[in-house]
Amino acid sequence: MWEVFEYVQPGDIIVVDGRGDTATGAFGEMLMTYFKGRGGAGVVIDTGIRDSREIFHDVKMPVWSAAVTTGGAGHLNMYPSEFNVPVACGNVLVNPGDIIMADDGGAIVIPPKLAPAIIEIAGERDEHEVFVRMKLGQGGDLNKYYPFNEEGRREYEEWLKAQSG
Q: pTM here?
A: 0.76
Residue 81: what pLDDT?
A: 75
How many Å separate Cα 147 from the centre of its chain? 26
pLDDT in tens, 14-62: 999 988 888 888 889 999 999 999 999 999 999 899 999 999 999 999 9
Per the CB < 8 A criterion, the answer to whether 43 and 61 are in contact is: yes
Q: What is the CATH number of domain 2-110?
A: 3.50.30.40
pLDDT in tens, 49-99: 999 999 999 999 999 999 999 877 665 666 667 889 999 999 999 999 999
Residue 77: what pLDDT?
A: 63
Spans of all domains in the chain: 2-110, 116-164
Nearest to 16 by CA among 112, 62, 82: 82
Instruction: Count the Cβ atoms, other than its own, within 10 Å of residue 28.
Output: 17
